[in-house]
Structure 1
Amino acid sequence: MQDFKAKLKTFLSQFFGNHDLQDDEDIFAVGFVNSMFAMQLVLFIEQEFQVTVENEDLELDNFRTISAMASLLERKKSILT
């Protein structure tokens, strides 16, 4: 899970400037995410981690924090193995 979190944090930090994003910080609440960025985030996750984000995965709670995204990735990866 730490590897997932590190890669997600690196990707997100490109867009959040000097903000030190924490694993459990709500990226929607801090105002960094709009609908276009949300699409970029889903594409990044699919390409970087070789998973398919299904329609049922597109719940806000799965993308609200780095920890939530890492949990989603763990669930997706466990299905593949």
Structure 2
Amino acid sequence: MTDTKGQILGFVRDRYPQAEITESQDIFALGFVNSLFAMELVMFVEKTFGVTIPNDELRIDNFRTATSMSDLVTRLLAEPAVA
């Protein structure tokens, strides 16, 4: 598991310590995400990894799993900064 996935999974697990959530489980399908927590996830990812998530990337599929969020961060970090 990459450090990015680990940090994201840790954030979700801290919020739901009673749940056994893995990096590939769909946290939306499991019922853990409401609109407030979805925004917290976006803010956590942006602040923790120093990225800005563009509107076109604010899709549910990018936030379903720790793996998909980690992949999003990897993509955003690989893109050249827009001046």
Considering only aligned residues, what root-mean-square deviation do their CA atoms show, in Å?
A: 1.4
- Higher mean alpha-carbon deviation, 22-31 vs 11-20, is at 11-20
Give, in angstroms, the shift of residue 80 of structure 1: 4.0
| Deviation per residue, 1:7-66 (Å, 9 max, x gap) | 001111111122121111000010010001000110000000000011001010000001
Unpaired runs of 5+ residues, structure 2, are: none
Report the counterpart of residue 9 of structure 2 in structure 1.
9
Q: Distance in 1 between matches of 2:80 and 2:66?
A: 21
Give matches, 1:49-68, under 5 Å: 49-68=49-68
Q: Which runs of 4+ in 1 moved over 4 A?
A: none
Q: Distance in 1 between matches of 2:24 and 2:54?
A: 23
- Structure-2-length-normalised TM-score: 0.91
Q: Distance in 2 between matches of 1:26 and 1:13?
A: 13
Count of residues paired in the alignment: 81
Instruction: Give the aligned residue type for 2:27.
Output: I
Give matches, 1:25-40, under 5 Å: 25-40=25-40
Unpaired runs of 5+ residues, structure 1, are: none
| SS of alignment partner, residue 17 of structure 2 | coil
